[in-house]
Every structure is written in C-alpha cells, then in structure tokens.
Amino acid sequence: MKLRMPLKNRYCQWGFFVLVCGGVLVPGNFTPAEEPGVQSLERIKLSADGQHLVLAQSGSLFVPWGFNYDHDSKGLLLEDYWDKEWDRVVGDFQEMKALGANVVRIHLQVGKFLISPNKANEANLKKLEALVKLAEETGLYLDITGLGCYHKQDVPEWYDSLEESERWNAQAFFWQTIARRVGHSPAVFCYDLMNEPVVPVGSAQEQGWLVGEPLGGKYFVQRITLEQKERSRAEIAAAWVKHLHSAIREVDKETLITVGLLPGTPDRADTWSGFRPKDLIPMLDFICVHIYPEAKKVDEAIQILSHFAVGRPVVIEETFPLHCGTEEFQKFLEGSRKFAQGWISFYWGTPIPELRRINDLQSAILAGYLELWSKLGPSYRRP
C-alpha cells in the first residue's frame, strides 16, 4: 500500500500576495519578549505548565516568527556554498533579521556531516559553529533541522545500506555530535529531528528510504524504516523519536526537541505519516507541523491544524500561499492563532531590492510577499 503524498511544491504555483496585518493575543500572564539584539539572546524553554515557549531568564513569551533557509534561488543547499560564499550567508542572516525574523530554520544534510556511522565531518562542524556564532551576533535563533537527504546524489551509499537499527544509531550519533558542538549556545532554539519523516505501511524495500518523486530535484520526505513487520506505525515512530531524544539528552539537557510533521487529510491529519502527536508528548517539547492551505479549503487546513494541538505549543514550521489566494492565506493565518504559537515561512537568499531589479513577475511577487510578511511580523510576535 502506498502512502498518499500531499502536494507541496516550493518552486511554482505563485499567487498574488496581498496580506493585511492583524492583532495577536498573548495568553496568560506572560509579557512579550523584547526583540533580541547582538549578544542579548536568552535560551528558549518550555513554560512550567508546558503550554508556551518562554525566555529562560525573563519568563517572557516567545513567539517564533521567521524563515526556512533551506536553499537559495538556484536550489543550492546551505552546505553547498557556505565555504566559498560565507559573506552571502552573513548577508542573508542580516536580511532575514531586517525583515523581522527572530528564528531561522536551517536544514543540515546527513551526507555533509557524517563520514561514516560513527565519524563526523569536522570541517562542516566548524562551519556550523561559525553559523551559530553568526546567529548570536545577528540576534537570531536557530531551528536546526537535521538528517536531510534532500539531494539524493549526496546521500552516502554506506548510509542507505544500513539496516534499521544501524541507521537509527547513525542518526543518534549525528544528533549527539551536533548537540555536543553547539547545544551550549542560547541561539540554538531547537533540534528538529528530521524534516517530514514517515513510517511505511508494510514493506518499502522496493521504494527505498526516500519518498515520492523529487520536488525541484529535492527529496523532502523520508522513511524511518523500510519494514513495518508486526509493529504498529505509531509504535515505530515513537521508538524512533525516543531513540534520538535519549541520544541528545545524554549530552544536552536543555535545548528543545521537536520534529517537523507532514499532515494528511482532515480524517487522517495526525495519523497519515505514522507519527501521532499525542504519543510523542513525553519526548517532544513542542509540536511542529507543515501546512500549505489550499484554495477554498482554509477551514479544512484549520481543522487539520487542530489535530496537532495535544497539550504542547504548536509551531507551523512551514507555510506559504502556494495553493490559495492571498485573502484565503490571511484567513488561514488568522484562524491558526487559535492553535499555533509560531509561524515560519521561506527566504531563498535574494534580497528585496535585487528581486525588484530582476523585473519579472515571479520576482516582483516574491518581493511583495517578503515585504508583507515583514509587515505581519510585529502583530504576530507581540501585541
């Protein structure tokens, strides 16, 4: 049985973006966090009641608002250019900060950080340390998403040949290594264990670890096992999360842990991937979900989101008006406030002035979207 792959294309289906700012309610007795500046970052933690994200020292409410920094306008991943074009990375972080972000989500590729199941790439670890330092200096928090296999050609053969337990152990080593090197920094907001993991129904030996056809040459979804065997999918998902959670907590007791979940249809929103949020609460500090509302289905998107509100803060870790008009996207954002406490969109490395100079329709639309997302920021981050 094949899992139905929800449509998600980050390269086309552009709409005309006209978003209108709105207000936001701050629950409880929390005060909004001040905008972080240079060397003023406080570590983010879960509130005592487990319902909100807060700054560790002041106790102020923290609302993640920012960008996925997953690839540039040419489709290159961060590790493809951060060696030779570091100045570009610095400029991108400054631009995202200027656009109002307090969080940047980066996507680390397993093939760039693991040389073998128990040996890491020291050069890229040092580059990651430099990136964390840049985040500190810029006043940005990092959502570090790991274990990416986005470019199939860069996935090591040894990694794909591992059996389930061996692969899980290599993944645990990946996260222990990352946590040991950068977990001390308050700029590290969270570890997202994997982008959109799924558990297959039955056997997926013929299909392999990566799911579906590539989008823009990238595989954003991957399986955590190739054989369900006699286990329930939810059981496999919980065991995988527990394995990686335990590995991280051996070396880092504080940094928040989450996983970026891909939902299904309203009747299977929280079960489509095999990852049931309610089963993961003991191991996840907050829930991340990726939602791209569709035209005439905004209420359905909100209904899907509601399934992920299971007693922990919910962050919409990916969203963008790919499949709906601007008014409907605004309606989705407004409606999502009932359940979500954070929103992360996309920045692909081209500043607004440069987009304006390109002088084509797609660039003009993206420039307008970035300007309007920036205008939305203050009303979502604080009242």
Q: Please write the tens of the pLDDT for every residue from 88-146.
A: 999 999 999 999 999 999 999 999 999 999 999 999 999 999 999 999 999 999 999 99
> Does residue 270 belong to any structural domain of this protein?
yes
> Does residue 4 belong to any structural domain of this protein?
no
> Does residue 53 belong to any structural domain of this protein?
no
> Does residue 10 belong to any structural domain of this protein?
no
- Give the model's pLDDT for residue 306: 96
- Give the model's pLDDT for residue 318: 98
Q: Which of 78-92, 101-115, 349-363 has the lowest mean pLDDT?
A: 349-363
> Does residue 347 belong to any structural domain of this protein?
yes
User: Hey, what amino acid is at 321?
Assistant: P
Q: Residue 270: is its pLDDT beyond 90?
A: no
Positive or negative torsion for Cα 102, 321, 342, 179: negative
The whole-angstrom separation of Cα 187 and Cα 39 is 9
The whole-angstrom separation of Cα 6 and Cα 333 is 20
Q: Residue 258 phi/psi, 5° resolution?
A: -150, -175
Q: Residue 28: is its pLDDT beyond 70?
A: no
> Comparing C-alpha atoms, which of 81, 74, 137, 103 is closest to residue 350?
74
* DSSP code of residue 96: H
> Does residue 350 belong to any structural domain of this protein?
yes
> Does residue 298 belong to any structural domain of this protein?
yes
> Does residue 295 belong to any structural domain of this protein?
yes
Q: Please write the tens of the pLDDT for every residue from 278-307.
A: 999 999 999 999 999 999 999 999 999 999
Would the pTM of this model clear 0.85, i.e. be above it? yes
Please identify which residue in the block is written with the tokens 């860069």.
Answer: 154
Domain, as residue range, for 72: 61-381
The whole-angstrom separation of Cα 170 and Cα 167 is 5
What percentage of residues in the chain have a pLDDT greater than 70?
90
**What kind and span of H or E run contains 352?**
helix 352-358
Q: Please measure the distance between the N-terminal and C-terminal CA atoms of the chain and give it in whole angstroms.
A: 47
Q: Residue 286 phi/psi, 5° resolution?
A: -155, 165
Instruction: Give the chain's domain count.
Output: 1
CATH of the domain at 157: 3.20.20.80
Q: Which residues pair with 343 in a beta bridge?
A: 65, 316
